[in-house]
Amino acid sequence: MISRFLAIRGAALAVLCVLPPLALLAAGCGDDGATVTDSGRLDSGVPDSAADSSIPGLCPTAGDLPCADTCIDPASDPANCGTCANACASAEVCSVGTCASGCDPRLTDCGDACVDINSNEDHCGSCRAPCRLGQACSDGMCVCGRGLVECGVTCADLASDPANCGACGAACAMGDVCTSGECLSTCGVGLTDCAASCVDLRSDLVNCGACGNVCGGGLECADGACRCPAGYTDCGAIGCVDVTRNGTNCGACGVVCAVDEVCASGSCGAGCPSGGTACGASCVDTATDPLHCGGCGVECTGGRICDAGACVCGAGATACRGVCVDTTNNVNNCGACRVTCGAVEVCSAGVCTAGCIPTEEACAGACVDTTSDPDHCGACGVVCSGGRECAAGVCDCPAGEVVCDGTCRDPETDRDHCGVCDNACRVVEACIAAACECVETMCGSDCVDLDTDEAHCGACDAACGMGLTCHRGRCR
């Protein structure tokens, strides 16, 4: 299916999944190892080798649907296009969740499924060219995610993998643990021993709050609990969804737009507003959307962002074999791609050297400033999660934001936590200056959507009769 890197943290690999398709739901084995999917969905970032034990029935990739005991991608599955059991006709293909006569311009027809062969793990680089479990597809290449290294047939986290601690094949002795790339008797500060792998239970996607508790379906691990990121809604078995633009969960979970409608700003309508592009049933901005970058279904993977319709690495990062890395401290790409430091060296300021400068600490071969590094905040391996930043070695929310449900939220603009935590604005409202304000039509004291409100259909007080619904401002 589809792999994402929106919030990749290089989670440690556990046992390799070798389950048949019908067992995928029970064990959570999937095909992706990193973060966002089509129509405003998020991928969990959980490696394929980790079993999802946290929420039974939740597909590993958010937005994938459990159809007939198998997780499917409704964006491209011709037998379940857009939703379960919605089969496209024999002459049609499934493109961005819609049955059509042909694929969107930048997608490839792979057996009636329209996919982006630059990011699709089942069709990576060409049709029917699948990546191994645990790998992701980026730039049409099967690669290990950010923070992971290819060790034989496994993508390993050298910072915590007891079978590959600090280097491929460097196994820790019985009784030792792997902490920050070293085999020691105990874990480092802030880390917990989970099967000889030292992890941060407050942020680790496969050991969230407790060893073996996996966050699937787009959930992130924040403060030791699996939660949806800011801007996403938990829609049960589907996982985390952006209800402002999802055609099958428009404005709220389970609200399905009609076949000829699209979802924009949480409402179903005839078309997208100015500046928006209809990708399936979703209105998106192809200039900035990492799921539809420059065209529908074109996804940015490998940790890249969408800037002006192109997938690029963010400031300070370099693309090395399809994955964005920081060449100033990456031991496998030190100073430049594929420049690997020696077994006893570290990478400091883009140079392989014997040790870090006094103000930095060596964390699995990378010289980092633990006072400001969000992946090593206060100590190696302590990751800031839930939108927190690292300042003075402590994870905290940015200025002006507060913690709501374990994640940082801006009460000035967050429609789920407007003004204060848990004060949710209605679909017809937006959070403006910490207050829910009407963005539709005021009928007396009520804020209503004249396109869908059965009491005010097309105009204030124009009520639909018994048994009729309001569709595009008309009762029918």
pLDDT by residue for the chain (476 residues), tens digit each?
333 333 333 333 332 232 223 233 333 333 333 333 333 333 334 443 343 434 455 777 666 888 888 888 899 999 999 888 999 999 999 999 999 999 998 999 999 899 999 999 899 999 999 998 888 899 999 999 878 888 988 999 999 999 999 999 999 999 999 999 999 999 999 999 999 999 999 999 999 999 999 988 788 999 999 999 888 888 887 788 899 888 889 988 888 888 888 999 888 888 898 889 999 899 999 999 999 999 999 999 999 999 999 999 999 999 998 999 999 999 999 999 999 999 889 999 999 999 999 999 999 999 999 999 999 999 999 999 999 999 999 999 999 999 998 999 999 999 899 999 999 998 889 999 999 999 999 999 999 999 889 999 999 999 999 989 888 889 98
CB atoms within 10 A of CB 85: 9
Would you kindly state where each structural domain of the chain is located, as residue ranges?
A: 440-476
Task: Please give the Cα distance from 134 to 124 (Å, whole number).
Answer: 14
Q: How far apart are CA 81 and CA 177, in angstroms?
A: 46
Closest to 285 measured CA to CA, from 268, 308, 305: 308
Nearest CA among 409, 340, 385, 412 for reference residue 219: 385
The per-residue pLDDT for 238 is: 79
Integer CA distances (angstroms), 465 to 158, 429, 446, 468, in order: 66, 26, 20, 6
Residues 380 and 305: their CA atoms lie apart, in Å, by 26
Q: Which structure tokens are listed for 251?
A: 């404005």
Residue 397 pLDDT: 96
Please give the Cα distance from 339 to 328 (Å, whole number).
11
Pairing of strands 446-448, 240-241: unpaired
The closest alpha carbon to 112, from 120, 101, 122, 121, belongs to 101
- 191 Rama sector, left if φ>0, alpha if ψ -120 to 50, beta otherwise: beta
Integer Cα distance of 44 and 208 in angstroms:
12
What is the model's pTM?
0.79
For residue 63, the model assigns a pLDDT of: 66
